[in-house]
Amino acid sequence: MKFGVMMFPTDYSIAPAALGRAAEERGFESIWLPEHSHIPASRKSPWPGGAELPKMYYDVMDPFVALATVASVTSKLKLCTGICLIVQRDVIQLAKEVATLDQLSGGRVILGIGAGWNAEEMEDHGTPFDRRMKVMREKVEALKAIWTEAKAEYHGEFVNFDQMMAWPKPVQQPHPPILVGGGFPGGAKRAIRYGDGWMPIDGRGWDITETLSEYRQMAAAEGREPDDLPPTIFAASEDPDRIRTYRDVGVERLVFGLPPEKEDTILPKLDELAKLMD
């Protein structure tokens, strides 16, 4: 089983490069950075994690710029978005950003994506909340076309472009892994339909250890090889018994959450988490 860490990088947290270097030194496989372009002041959309939206959601840095700094000081660490709000991004520009990072890092990118929960945020980007899932699917399909075809084109309801040429192409073939976030069963179904893995947050009303067998059955029923769609668990428990359970049911990767704090808090926490990997 692989282990990663996730943090909202801010101007008051440990710098992403310093976090990445420390994580790699301690044997972690991956670093995961989330994103929000902005938080609308209306605050109409409820946060799925609770009543009050934490300050770090307002302050988080751009994940791709931050991951580029991590790439420059590491050599093995996987550079991951957890999650990229793909429905809010221009897909042609996103294809170039991800491919560029994959090139500069020697093929270390994992693109974790989600449709998001903040209706006002995505609508500021021109994405209707009630169509966000179709927008996400079209953008994933368009990304794959841009990354794998010399002259790509895509014609959908929300993404539409004639033949075009875009380089660089990613190092990873056929493209960087795309992990689809979301709960069960909706997120799992979308991961099976067009993803390379499922990326749920455990503990939000369901239990991955109880649903994993059903997830695999769903994949097989859709003609996908279940072993090609391994789950990555976000906000993973730090309880050793729970970690053993994750391992025993076939979870590929656990991602531990870190607070947006400075080195004096984060480095000792990384040491504690590193012991759990054993």
> What average pLDDT does range 113-139 have in this prediction?
97
Please give the Cα distance from 246 to 1 (Å, whole number): 9
What mean pLDDT, rounded, does the chain reach? 96
> Which of 67-76, 163-172, 205-214, 241-250 shows the lowest mean pLDDT across its residues?
205-214
Of the pLDDT bands very low, low, confident and very high (cuts 50, 70, 90), residue 190 is very high
**pLDDT higher than threshold 90 for residue 175:** yes
Contact 26, 271 (CB under 8 A): yes
Superfamily of domain 2-276 in the CATH hierarchy: Luciferase-like domain (3.20.20.30)
pLDDT over 90 at 93, yes or no: yes
Provide the pLDDT for residue 210: 82
Give the per-residue pLDDT at 50: 82
What residues form DSSP beta bridges with 232?
A: 253
Residue pLDDT, tens place only, 32-56:
999 999 999 999 999 988 889 999 9
Flag whether pLDDT at 117 surpasses 90: yes
Residue 208's pLDDT is what?
Answer: 80
